[in-house]
Homo-oligomer: A and B are copies of this chain.
Amino acid sequence: MSAQHNTRIVLASRPTGRPGAEHFRLEQVPIPQPGDGEVLIANRLLSIDPYMRGRMDAGRSYAAPVPLDGVMEGGTVAQVLVSRAPGIVPGQWFLAHGGWQTHAVVPAAQLTRRLDPDAPPLSTALGVFGMPGFTAYAGLHEIGQPKAGETLVVAAASGPVGATVGQLAKLKGVRVVGIAGGEAKRAYLEQLGFDVALDHRAADFADALGAAVPNGIDVYFENVGGAVFKAVLPHLNDFARIPVCGTVSTYNSRHQPIEGPDLLPGFMSQVLRQRLLVRGFIQRDFAALFPQFERDMRQWLLAGQIRYRETIVQGLEQAPQALADVLDGKNFGKLVVKLD
């Protein structure tokens, strides 16, 4: 790959289930040049997130799908190479929506979050100090609203959203039960100070969950769906809150009918009887809260009150496999692709 070219990955075809190598295509094209008000950036770090699976579908979602032959979308940590915009100069670091490619031309208006390359580490702008961390913060602040003494359950709890949800709740005096897949991730949750850490692959998972919530569940932070969601339902307390920021367990299958019985009528009946609050959100719905998050999280990170874990893989060509791993829960912590 020549430094004279932009190396990029485009969507070659739309998957019906799990995405594989055949749905992507690696290309080299000339490096684009910025026009007035635009900036040429070099993407140095690329975030890999579950939402990207949704962008590969043609169906209706909260954002337009990636077009066929279009560059896969993604958040990046980028450095300015050429600027034709006032106030932005080469060498500066920004959070960008740079996509799965080494270079991008973006409007200066997109570069609203300048990054300090010293602290916290740049990669955190894609994880705990960025969109996933803000997802956790906003979902708790605006919807979950756990109070001291209440019980919160979060799944995918070793991931950048789940781990942050659990630690934020602990800071508030909440009893936290974290769920992850496999012993290594489960043990990590104990290191983070969760009250109980469960492996959803364990044969006795449903029973263990019941034993872990003797006072029921007041907040279930929903970011996986599927079997964990079903196991949670019988333990919800009246007036429980369910912020829904992901249903990753169904992303690969959401257009296929799922075997019955139909649990939806019973769920709606439970919503009524227990006065449940169920609310979907994505972090940008609460953009007004971001400055407060940035202030709070910087302090927590510098003080070591919030910890995080990352897996960094080397090379753009690893991105498709990285996404498949994230969707299968094979990664451990925030997955970042290093480009250069």
A292 beta carbon closer than 8 Å to chain B:
no
- Over the window 274-285 of chain A, the binary record of Cβ atoms lying under 8 Å from chain B Cβ atoms (1 yes, 0 no) is 111111111001
Least CB distance from A35 to B in Å reads 33
Would you call A291 an interface residue if the criterion is a C-beta within 8 Å of the partner chain's C-beta atoms?
Answer: no
Contact residues, A221-263 vs B (CB, 8 A): 222, 225-226, 229, 238, 244-247, 250, 254, 257-263
Whether the pair B244, A271 counts as a contact (CB closer than 8 A) is yes
Is A54 interfacial (CB 8 A cutoff)? yes
The docked-state distance in angstroms from the alpha carbon of A264 to that of B260 is: 10
Assess whether A295 is interfacial by the CB under 8 Å rule.
no
A270 to B244, CA, bound (A): 10
Most buried by B among A61, A244, A277: A244
> Cβ of A300 < 8 Å from any Cβ of B?
no
Q: Which residue of the partner chain, among B60, B247, B275, contacts A268 with CB atoms under 8 Å?
A: B247
Q: Tell me how far the C-beta of A272 lies from the nearest C-beta in chain B, rounded to whole angstroms.
A: 4
Q: Does A269 contact B (CB under 8 A)?
A: yes
- Residue of chain B at shortest CB distance from A262: B258
Chain B positions within 8 Å of A264 at CB level: 262-264, 267
Per-residue interface assignment for chain A, residues 43 to 71, with 1 indicating a CB less than 8 Å from any chain B CB and 0 otherwise: 00000000000100000111000000000
A266 proximal to B (CB < 8 A): yes
Which chain B residue lies CB-closest to A275? B280
* A273 beta carbon closer than 8 Å to chain B: yes
Q: How far is the CB of A282 from chain B (nearest CB, A)?
A: 7
Check if A214 is an interface residue, CB within 8 A of chain B.
no
A279 near B271 (CB under 8 angstroms)? yes
Q: Within the assembled complex, what's the spacing in Å between the Cα atoms of A54 and B270?
A: 12
* A121 / chain B contacts, CB cutoff of 8 Å: none
Asked if A265 is an interface residue, CB under 8 A from chain B, the answer is yes
By the criterion CB–CB under 8 Å, are A269 and B281 in contact?
Answer: no
Across the interface, A261 reaches (CB within 8 A) one of B225, B247, B257, B280, namely B257
Our pick among B54, B62, B272 for the contact of A238 (Cβ within 8 Å) is B62
Which one of B238, B272, B279 contacts A244 once the chains associate, using CB atoms below 8 Å?
B272
**Set B250, B276, B282: member contacting A265, Cβ < 8 A:** B250
Contact B285 A280 (CB under 8 A): no
Q: What residues of B have a CB within 8 angstroms of the CB of A285 in the complex?
A: 275
In A187-225, the 8 Å CB interface with B consists of 222, 225
A257 to chain B, nearest CB (A): 4
The winner among A54, A275, A278 for most chain B CB atoms within 10 A is A278
- Can you sample 26 A-B contacts with CB below 8 Å? A62-B275, A226-B265, A244-B268, A244-B271, A246-B272, A247-B269, A250-B268, A250-B269, A254-B265, A258-B261, A260-B261, A261-B262, A262-B263, A263-B263, A264-B264, A267-B267, A270-B280, A271-B279, A274-B280, A275-B279, A275-B280, A275-B281, A275-B285, A276-B280, A277-B280, A278-B278
State the A residues within 8 Å of B (CB). Answer: 54, 60-62, 222, 225-226, 229, 238, 244-247, 250, 254, 257-282, 285
Apart from A244-B268, A263-B264, A272-B280: 4 A-B pairs, beta carbons within 8 A: A54-B273, A60-B273, A257-B261, A272-B282
The 4 tightest CB contacts between A and B, nearest first, are: A260-B260, A257-B261, A272-B280, A271-B280
